[in-house]
Amino acid sequence: MLFWETPSVNARTLRALASCATGAECLVREDKSGSLIVCEQGHAPDGVREKRATPLFSGGRTTPEAGPWIFFVGLWTPKEWRSEFCAWYKCEHAEILLECPDWEGFQFLEGDSDKGCQFYVLHRLSDRRALASETRANSAP
- Contacts of residue 55, defined as CB under 8 A and 6 or more positions apart, other chains included, come to 1, 107, 108, 109
Q: Are residues 72 and 102 in the same domain?
A: yes
Determine the structural domain holding residue 66 and report its residue range. 54-141
Is pLDDT larger for residue 117 or for residue 43?
117
How many domains does the chain divide into? 2
Distance, CA of 72 to CA of 56 (rounded, Å): 16
Q: Are residues 81 and 99 in the same domain?
A: yes
Over residues 85-97, the pLDDT tens digits come to 999 999 999 999 9
Q: Are residues 41 and 62 in the same domain?
A: no
Distance, CA of 52 to CA of 23 (rounded, Å): 15
| First CA to last CA distance, the chain | 28
Whole-structure pTM value: 0.91
Distance, CA of 116 to CA of 33 (rounded, Å): 29
Distance, CA of 59 to CA of 89 (rounded, Å): 11
